[in-house]
Structure 1
């Protein structure tokens, strides 16, 4: 997409942690209407990252022409030296379709993502970091208290002001899909799966269930292709 150099010169810059899923891609598309977005993907050695990153790269090229977007920047922050080799996120054996959200908890996930991204932002003189946790997120590193404390600690430790923003914190996933429609986010080029098969959602993991149910609630049907068919 063409770069509006005048806008880039004067617009506020924001780094967006993009996983390639619905929430972060819609968030990046939303923010790119008013700010200059620097999408960041952090690789941690998880089983689904290769296909997830490939999908994210496709999505970013499909953003509306009016979007203000820097090239994707990939950071490395492996958890393979702290998670057990048998951990489901490393072996590619995720929790099943009907399991609760708590079963997909990744210890320290946002600590790792934000720590590495904040170092990049300090060097690039970017003060805003946005990510997409939703309402009802049960994890301890997705609370307002955590984000406030983390922003304070990072600002002190990097000697650079860091603001951590969670614009979708009051959204549920159907709300994200509706917002995605409003900003023309390429939701068909998102990956919400912990065991993708050849670039296709597996249809058997709990993230696929969450995606399927949200599309059905928001749109009445789910346009996603699954290796194991899920029909509304």
Structure 2
């Protein structure tokens, strides 16, 4: 019997690759997406389309009410999304307080309820500089807690924790994935802006792989 896992699936490049990585491993996947009031909730439409195509169970949970507790992020508040690379201090404006701990906690609870023994999510090394909840020490400690928080232990799996965005893309391209099925831009407009940290990192990953990004940019 194949392993069953909940995949935290935003609709972006990383979680798209993680989802297919899990499927490649023979995992029986259930996708879980969150509407936390992000201005780029367009990514959720991409996630839904992929899951329909793959006939994967997909749940979108509206937790936007928590934003009254989590102020100060340009992804959820009326604050301009900064332009520039992830390494720049300005990108700290895109940090949503405690986001991944909240999302992982809900995903672990869902895993227990559907008798899944793992939760997959797309933390990677490119996020380490800005996002504390994507760093190895956070994942390790959350994984330790998830083993004892319920009667049923749940493992947190981050296949690309120590990989760059370029390496993730390389693996996805090797799997034959179409990244036109993903949305990365922090501005949820008709076309990707090409200027925010998320867009810049995505474009750099494609350039490093000698590939063309199928998304349209402003």
**Larger of the two Rg values belongs to structure:** 1
Deviation at 1:53, TM superposition (A): 0.5
Cα 1:92–1:11 change in 2 (3 A) is: farther
Any unmatched runs of 5+ in structure 1?
Answer: 1-9, 64-68
- SS of 1:219's equivalent in the other structure is coil
Equivalent pair of 1:59/1:186 in contact (CA under 8 Å) = no
Q: Distance in 2 between matches of 1:73 and 1:150?
A: 23
- SS of 1:74's equivalent in the other structure is strand
Any unmatched runs of 5+ in structure 2?
Answer: none
Deviation at 1:188, TM superposition (A): 0.9
Q: Distance in 2 between matches of 1:221 and 1:201?
A: 14
2:205 to 209, 214, 225: 214
User: What is residue 178 of structure 1 aligned with on the other side?
Assistant: 170
Matches within 5 A, 1:2-13: 10-13=1-4
Query: How many residue pairs are counted as aligned between the two chains?
Result: 210
TM-score by length of 2: 0.87
Q: Distance in 2 between matches of 1:135 and 1:98?
A: 14
Matched, 1:118 2:145: no
Cα 1:120–1:164 change in 2 (3 A) is: same
Equivalent pair of 2:73/2:95 in contact (CA under 8 Å) = no
User: What is residue 29 of structure 2 aligned with on the other side?
Assistant: 37
Q: Distance in 2 between matches of 1:219 and 1:40?
A: 32
Q: Which is further off, 20-29 or 177-186?
A: 177-186
CA RMSD of aligned residues (A): 2.0
- SS of 2:82's equivalent in the other structure is coil
Q: Structure 1 residue runs of 4+, over 6 Å off? A: none
Q: Distance in 1 between matches of 2:212 and 2:56?
A: 33
Cα 1:221–1:183 change in 2 (3 A) is: closer
TM-score by length of 1: 0.82
Matches within 5 A, 1:118-157: 118-136=108-126, 137-138=128-129, 139-157=131-149
User: What is residue 56 of structure 2 aligned with on the other side?
Assistant: 70
Equivalent pair of 1:93/1:195 in contact (CA under 8 Å) = no
Q: Deviations over 1:11-50 (max 9, x none)?
A: 111111111110110110111122111111022111111x
Equivalent pair of 1:16/1:130 in contact (CA under 8 Å) = yes
Matches within 5 A, 1:186-201: 186-198=178-190, 200-201=191-192
